[in-house]
């Protein structure tokens, strides 16, 4: 026991949550009210009162949050050993650990975790034999098939119903889709391949089993769950199987920050838990310790949700009201943001205290160009990270086949990287390799043109498999794929450094298997853990999707593209739930700001966000910028709009037509 006051600096409601006894506890609170801080202090208090750290399970939504909370709790208890002993991680990471431990009970051998890209690759492998190829009629893509499957699994609703409600145009193919999904399940099980949903399903199955379940339950006396508004039905079942009567259970969440509806999560789980768990205590935190009241006034107007949780700032009004900035177009928006970031920097605010948030990774393209031109170092989170890029996945596939020779998707991927080896041959040879065929035989069966390179690849992979040290295994894998990738990617020069840095990071691991599992389960935070610093300069601006900004805060926040179609995203506009989820995203974005919040609305945008075409359309400001919302904000006009002289027929302040440069006509070249 350490003599430290673990509730020092906490407000009375936070103290109540920290000191609460073993009865079930639900902490429902708004943004910035100290939920994370409270949960961390509760873990530290439990340990301080004599609970062995290994009797505590802390479940979070990201690896980054788990790591931060664990090290903070260890620091509060002044015992670095706590970090190693505490069970903490994301649902998926803990599921992976438990499932791997119990693989035999589940009839599995070696297990390999599939990320969503792997699942679509596997569906690609299967769709031909299920009559889902051809061009005569519109067929669901492999991505759509994966979505149908995942929605059914996560919500417990039949695929027939999911298709009828959300993909009605696929109704004609229900039988074939179901056949394919059954085959997918079989294939994954026979090969020890588990996707993210499987990890949770298998953990739930283990907990539901009488004997194994009792043993697992007996491991932990305390289960604490962060961001409970984002759990789906399977995760709800896992939590209730872990603590059936709610004894020792603490969940923390904010129903207005539920932004994972597309994964089957619903904020109702947070409120439902308190309503359905007899004897549970509900603690509400309403004092916001992050932002000034001016920013919270906007957040309170935007906030959807059932709980009456108007946020009150502990810090008083704050420096300034949020600003709504109207800009001419995306380039103008980028210039305006860069100007504001540099101006704040010039006044002494480090870049790392500032962030630019957006709904979708593509929304920051113009800004990235602008920042490069002006030499502003930045790091982008969310969107496609480099662990998800094709060439890095190729290297990871090599690691994976050396650890699980039944990993058909990785074999298939590697085989298709060989010149002269088409998809049909790759599919057949991958099956042979999975069945354990001798490498010489496989080479002999390959198309003649690919034999030499295939022979060399398999030879290197055999060396990798035989290597006892991780560094040797990684080096042999790198040597296996490098000649293939050099040939396969025309822009190999640009990609080589990524492959090098992943190989270097992997070589430094003691356990390659868990390195791959971590990178598969949470690529964004793994990459930011060990990727080299974004630039030589240690101070850098953060660019982030709103999803990846959850739980974080900055002194100054810029929110891009507050237009209908961007935020809310046009993908979400067809249902009321979809729009409400976008509104919660808007709320999450606004509540990341401590001192300054600027929200930008370009008045014209390209028809397609990634297109280089000059065709622009007029936008509508985001529907979340209602009259009451705008009443809490100052309004500004970008320099680009101000400088637009009123021309004939064009009212003052209307955007200039975007600069269009005619593209060279290459038609003659290709005639």
- φ/ψ of residue 314, rounded to 5: -70, -25
Sequence-distant (6+) residues with CB within 8 A of 53 are 47, 81, 82, 85, 86
| Only segment of 8-16, 112-120, 352-360, 526-534 that touches ligand ATP (CB under 6 A) | 8-16
Name the residue nearer to ligand ATP (CB basis): 110 or 553.
Answer: 553
How many residues of this chain interact with ligand ATP, rule: CB under 6 A?
19
In this chain, which of 24, 25, 26, 35 binds ligand ATP, going by CB under 6 A?
35
CB 279 within 8 A of CB 254: no
Q: How far is the CB of 475 from ligand ATP (least distance, A)?
A: 41
Q: Does 32 bind ligand ATP (CB under 6 A)?
A: yes
Q: Map tokens 């107007």 to a residue.
A: 301
Tally the C-alpha atoms within 13 A of residue 302's C-alpha that lie toward its C-beta: 32
Residue 105 vs residues 171, 191, 199, 350: alpha-carbon distances, Å: 37, 15, 14, 53
Consult the annotation and say whether 35 binds a ligand. Answer: yes
Residues 582-611 that bind ligand ATP (CB under 6 A): 591
Pairwise CA distance, residues 287 & 593, whole Å: 15
Work out how close the CB of 31 gets to ligand ATP at its nearest, in angstroms, rounded to a whole number.
3
The dihedral region occupied by 551, where left means phi > 0, alpha psi between -120 and 50, and beta the remainder, is left
Q: How far is the CB of 7 from ligand ATP (least distance, A)?
A: 9
Question: Checking DSSP bridges between strand 554-559 and strand 541-545, what pairing results, if any?
Answer: unpaired
33: contact with ligand ATP by CB under 6 A: yes
Q: Which of 523, 551, 602, 655 binds ligand ATP (CB under 6 A)?
A: 551
Q: Which is nearer to ligand ATP, 36 or 232 (CB)?
A: 36
Identify whether the C-beta of residue 553 lies closer than 8 Å to the C-beta of residue 592.
yes
Complex with ligand ATP: residue 91 or 411, whichever CB lies closer: 91
Binding mask 272-301 for ligand ATP (x = CB under 6 A): -----------------xx-----------
Q: Using CB atoms, what's the residue nearest to ligand ATP?
A: 34
34 is an annotated ligand-binding site residue: yes
On whether 36 is known to bind a ligand per the annotation, the reply is yes
Q: Give CA–CA dist 441/427, Å, rounded.
A: 15
By beta-carbon proximity to ligand ATP, the closer residue of 256 and 446 is: 256
- Residue 330 engages ligand ATP in binding (rule: CB under 6 A): no
Confirm or deny that 40 is annotated as ligand binding: no
Q: Which residue in the block uniquely carries the two structure tokens 């420096």?
A: 319
Q: Which CB sits closer to ligand ATP, 359 or 400? A: 359
Selected range binding ligand ATP among 4-12, 94-102, 143-151, 640-648, rule: CB under 6 A: 4-12
Nearer to ligand ATP, 507 or 559 (CB): 559
Check the annotation: does 29 bind a ligand. yes
36: contact with ligand ATP by CB under 6 A: yes
Site residues (CB under 6 A) for ligand ATP, limited to 236-265: 254, 257
**Minimum gap (Å) between residue 235 Cβ and ligand ATP:** 18
CA distance 369 to 331: 9
Single out the residue of 199, 327, 308 nearest to residue 644, CA to CA. Answer: 327
Residue with tokens 């109702």: 268
Q: Hey, is 27 helix, strand or coil? A: strand
DSSP 536: S
**Sole binder of ligand ATP in the list 31, 56, 122, 325 (CB under 6 A):** 31
Please report whether residue 459 would count as binding ligand ATP according to CB under 6 A: no
* Residue 447 · residue 420 · CB < 8 Å: yes
Select from 24, 25, 28, 34 the one that contacts ligand ATP (CB under 6 A).
34
The window from 27-35, 267-275, 402-410, 439-447 that contacts ligand ATP (CB under 6 A) reads: 27-35
Closest to ligand ATP by CB, 316 vs 651, is 316
Residue 618: beta bridge partners?
604
- Exposed (0-12), middle (13-18) or buried (19+): which is 531, by Cβ within 10 Å? middle
Between CA 109 and CA 529 the distance in angstroms is 30
Of 3-11, 164-172, 229-237, 325-333, the window that binds ligand ATP (rule: CB under 6 A) is 3-11
Contact call for residue 544 and ligand ATP (CB under 6 A): no
Round to whole Å and give the CA distance between 630 and 612. Answer: 32
Placement of tokens 């039944």 in the chain: 406
| Binding range to ligand ATP, per CB under 6 A, among 34-42, 321-329, 330-338, 649-657 | 34-42
Q: According to the binding rule CB under 6 A, does residue 11 interact with ligand ATP?
A: yes
Phi, psi of 312 (to 5 degrees): -115, 130
Closest CB to ligand ATP among 296 and 421?
296
- Using CB under 6 A as the binding rule, whether residue 10 contacts ligand ATP is answered as yes
User: Toward ligand ATP, which CB reaches closer, 140 or 261?
Assistant: 261
Does position 62 interact with ligand ATP (CB under 6 A)? The reply is no
**Is 33 annotated as ligand-binding?**
yes
- Distances, alpha carbon 627 to alpha carbons 309, 386, 557, in Å: 21, 41, 22
Could you give the strand order of the β-sheet that contains 634-637, starting from the edge strand earlier in sequence?
Answer: 378-381, 541-545, 354-358, 554-559, 593-602, 323-327, 634-637
Alpha helices in 375-448 (DSSP H): 390-403, 408-416, 423-434, 439-445
Detail the residues annotated as belonging to a binding site: 29-36
* Residues engaged in binding ligand ATP (CB under 6 A): 9-11, 14, 29, 31-37, 254, 257, 289-290, 551, 553, 591
Detail the residues annotated as belonging to a binding site for ATP: 29-36
């Amino acid at each position: 026991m350490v003599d430290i006051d673990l509730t020092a600096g906490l407000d009375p409601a936070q103290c109540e949550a920290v000191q609460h006894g073993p009865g079930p506890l639900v902490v429902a609170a708004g943004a910035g009210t100290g939920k994370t801080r409270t949960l961390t202090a509760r873990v530290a208090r439990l340990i301080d009162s004599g609970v062995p750290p290994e009797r505590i399970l802390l479940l979070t939504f990201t690896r980054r949050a788990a790591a931060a909370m664990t090290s903070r709790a260890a620091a509060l208890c002044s015992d670095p050993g706590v970090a190693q002993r505490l069970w903490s991680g994301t649902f998926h990471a803990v599921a992976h650990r438990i499932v791997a431990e119990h693989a035999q009970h589940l009839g599995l051998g070696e297990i390999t975790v599939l990320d969503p890209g792997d699942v679509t690759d596997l569906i690609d492998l299967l769709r031909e034999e299920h009559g889902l190829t051809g061009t005569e009629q519109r067929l669901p893509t492999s991505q759509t098939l994966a979505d149908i499957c995942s929605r059914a699994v996560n919500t417990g609703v039949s695929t027939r119903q999911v298709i009828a409600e959300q993909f009605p145009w696929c109704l004609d193919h229900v039988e074939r889709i179901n056949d394919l999904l059954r085959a997918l399940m079989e294939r994954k099980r026979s090969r020890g391949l588990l996707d993210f949903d499987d990890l949770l399903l298998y953990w739930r199955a283990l907990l539901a089993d009488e004997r194994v379940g009792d043993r697992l339950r007996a491991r932990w006396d305390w289960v604490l769950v962060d961001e409970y508004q984002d759990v789906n039905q399977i995760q709800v079942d896992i939590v209730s199987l872990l603590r059936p009567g709610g004894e020792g259970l603490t969940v923390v969440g904010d129903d207005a920050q539920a932004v994972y509806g597309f994964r089957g999560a619903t904020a109702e789980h947070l409120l439902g838990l308190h309503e359905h768990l007899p004897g549970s205590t509900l603690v509400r935190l309403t004092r916001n310790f992050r932002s000034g009241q001016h920013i919270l006034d906007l957040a309170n107007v935007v906030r959807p949700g059932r709980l009456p949780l108007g946020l009150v700032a502990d810090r008083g009004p704050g420096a300034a009201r949020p600003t709504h900035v109207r800009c001419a177009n995306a380039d103008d928006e980028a210039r305006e943001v860069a100007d504001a970031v540099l101006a704040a920097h010039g006044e002494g605010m480090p870049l790392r205290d500032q962030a630019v948030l957006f709904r979708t990774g593509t929304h920051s393209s113009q800004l990235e160009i602008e920042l490069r031109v002006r030499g502003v170092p930045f790091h982008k989170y969310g969107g496609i990270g480099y662990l998800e890029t094709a060439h890095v996945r190729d290297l990871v596939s090599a690691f994976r086949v050396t650890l699980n020779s039944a990993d058909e998707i990785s074999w298939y991927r590697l085989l298709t990287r060989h010149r002269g080896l088409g998809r049909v041959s790759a599919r057949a040879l991958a099956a042979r390799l999975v069945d354990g065929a001798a490498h010489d035989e496989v080479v002999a069966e390959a198309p003649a043109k690919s034999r030499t390179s295939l022979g060399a690849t398999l030879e290197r992979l055999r060396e990798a498999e035989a290597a006892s040290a991780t560094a040797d295994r990684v080096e042999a894998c790198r040597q296996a794929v490098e000649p293939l990738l050099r040939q396969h990617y025309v822009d190999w020069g640009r990609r080589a450094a990524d492959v090098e840095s992943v190989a270097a990071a992997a070589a430094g691991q003691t356990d390659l298997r868990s390195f791959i599992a971590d990178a598969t389960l949470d690529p964004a935070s793994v990459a930011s853990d060990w990727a080299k610093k974004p630039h030589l300069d240690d101070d850098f601006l953060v660019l982030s999707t709103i999803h990846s900004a959850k739980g974080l805060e900055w002194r100054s926040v810029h929110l891009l593209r507050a237009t209908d179609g961007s935020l809310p995203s046009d993908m979400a506009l067809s249902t009321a739930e979809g729009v409400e989820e976008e509104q919660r995203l808007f709320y999450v974005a606004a509540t990341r700001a401590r001192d300054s919040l600027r929200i930008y609305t370009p008045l014209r945008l390209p028809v397609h966000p990634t297109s280089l075409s000059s065709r622009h359309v007029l936008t509508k400001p985001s529907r979340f910028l209602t009259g009451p919302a705008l009443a809490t904000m100052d309004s500004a006009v970008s320099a680009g709009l101000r400088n637009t002289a009123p021309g004939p027929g064009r009212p003052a302040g209307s955007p200039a037509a975007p600069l269009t440069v005619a593209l060279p006509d290459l038609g003659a070249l290709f005639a």
